[in-house]
Amino acid sequence: MQFSSTTRASDQGTPSARSTAAADVGDNVQALRDDISSLAESVKRLATEQLGSSVGDVQDMAKEKISDIEARIRRNPSQAALVAAGIGFVFGLILSR
């Protein structure tokens, strides 16, 4: 983005110079608004992409942990049943109070 500086110090007192300067300021303000809007869209897009990536990573980790737990249950079904019974007993005690 470039700011225009078409007015000279000697011209700043004339009405046409002031209107030209005002038009330049207006153009610069509009250019800034456009740049800010573009930047906001870029930040939004980047945040959405990173959030989607993070959600995918968490889902992959959860699937991996579930697979690990299922494999442990298959290797030691009696131990898994005892752990489940113990957890159920503890929840039963907590909920009965």
The Cα-based distances of 29 to 6, 11, 46 in angstroms read 16, 22, 26
Q: Is the pTM of this model over 0.75?
A: no
Q: Is residue 46 part of a domain?
A: yes
Q: Is residue 4 part of a domain?
A: no
Domain count for the chain: 1
Q: Is residue 49 part of a domain?
A: yes
Look up the domain containing 51 and give its range: 9-96
Number of residues in the chain: 97
What are 14-32's pLDDT values in tens digits? 777 778 888 888 888 999 9
Mean pLDDT over the full length of the chain = 85
Residue 82 pLDDT > 80, yes or no?
Answer: yes
Within a 10 A sphere around the Cβ of 80, how many other Cβ atoms?
15
Q: Is residue 3 part of a domain?
A: no
